[in-house]
Each structure stands twice: as structure tokens, then as C-alpha cells.
Amino acid sequence: MIPRVLEPESMDGPEEVAQYDAMDHRAVNDRFVADFLAAHGPCRGGEVLDVGTGTARIPIALALADPAARVVGFDLAPAMIERAERNVAEAGLSDRIRFVLGDAKAPTALGEARYEGVVSNTIIHHIPDPLPAFAAMVDRLAPGGTLLIRDLARPDDQAQLAGLVEQYAGDESPEARELFRASLHAALTVPEIARLAAQVGLPADCVAMTSDRHWTLAWRRPG
């Protein structure tokens, strides 16, 4: 197994944000939203918290898929939220999507509100120690709510990593390919995530590989 090599926690430069937003993640985002709705059912009028919302492509996809969805996007980077607000306004969804600036690793960063759903897509690999963020996301989930976290899985070796970069970013710019390579190198494995899940009281079987490059943690809080 190749070692984990961390990358920056946030992208806050205008050029980095623009490059990230320009990458075509529509298929991955649409699948994430479909998987959340399959696990959760139709939204019930509460809010869904998206941790590490980036430029709000997940909130927009969720709001378009479910007209009852109301989403709070949470991110560490002001430039990401600025672009997210612009994307949401262009989509005509400002009445159903709002944003909060903060660091998910801080114990009180997510506030006191409880959410009918807590989701996070490809943010865990940015965090050196994801345990506090995991604990905060579980804590903010209302009874009967759904937690869905998905991220890249670190490959076994450099050959597998190179193959994934070529398959999924081969047509992107050199900068985008390097960004994907670094993200794979910074990702965690399923056993590593299962250990984190156990530390916050979740069952180990809530984590599984769900593609050749992603793991998913899915859990419904009783109640």
C-alpha cells in the first residue's frame, strides 16, 4: 500500500477555485445525489448539510433532483463560497441553498442545529486527522437522518494510481491531472475509514468500496 501524502486542506486562490469548478464532475455528483435520495427518501422540509461544499455542485444537483430539498453548504475557503453563491444564483436556487464559512475540524464549527441529512463528497482526503470532522457530522445528524460521506480511496500502488489518473483525468489539463493524482495519494483506505467510523460509534459495515476509486459511508440515525 502506498503511503498517505497530504495535500492542502483548501483551495482558496481564484485560479485554483476556477480550475476546480471547471472540471466536469457531473456524473459523479449526480450519482452521489441519487445515492443519498435512495438511502434517505424524499427530503422532508428540514435542511441537508453539505460539509466541504466547494463550489456548490452537490447542493445544486440535490435541489434540482428534489424540489423539497433545502441545503446548507459549509466550507473552509471564502473563495469557494464566493463561487458557490454565484453558481447557486445562476441556477436560480438562492432561496433553497445557503452557505456557512467554517472549519469542520473545530468542535463547534457546525453549530447547534440538527439536520435531516449530512453529506460530504471528496473532502476527507483534504483533512490530516478526519476524526473530529467525523464526530461533528455524526453529532449534527437529527434522529432518523441520513449520513452519506464519499471520498476517493488510496490505491494499492503507483501503477494503479497512474492508471486511475489516465482513465479519469487523461483528457483534463496537466494541472487537473496533477490535482487528481495528489488527491488519490492523500485519500484513505476502507480499513482506515472503518476504524474512524468505529471511533465515533458507527458500525464497521457502514463503509464499503462503491467504485474503482471511491469508498462510501452510509448510515441512518435511529429515531
CATH number at residue 24: 3.40.50.150
Could you give the number of structural domains in the chain? 1
Confidence of residue 105 (pLDDT cuts 50, 70, 90): confident
Within-domain flag for 1: no
Q: Which domain holds residue 89?
A: 14-220
Within-domain flag for 3: no
Please state the rounded mean pLDDT for residues 51-60: 95
Q: One-letter amino acid identity for 116?
A: E
Whether the per-residue pLDDT at 124 is higher than 90: the answer is yes
Q: Global pTM?
A: 0.92
Within-domain flag for 8: no
Note the pLDDT of residue 11.
Answer: 59
pLDDT digits (tens, 9 = 90+) for 157-192: 999 999 999 999 999 889 889 989 999 999 999 999
Confidence of residue 106 (pLDDT cuts 50, 70, 90): confident
Within-domain flag for 103: yes
Within-domain flag for 172: yes
Mean residue pLDDT across the chain? 92
Backbone angles phi, psi at 200, to 5 degrees: -105, 15
Alpha helices in 94-173, H assignment, sequence order: 131-139, 158-169
> Does 218 or 8 have the greater pLDDT score?
218
Who contacts 9 (Cβ-Cβ below 8 Å, separation ≥6)?
76, 126, 127, 128
Q: Is 60 left (phi over 0), alpha (psi -120 to 50) or beta?
A: alpha
Within-domain flag for 133: yes
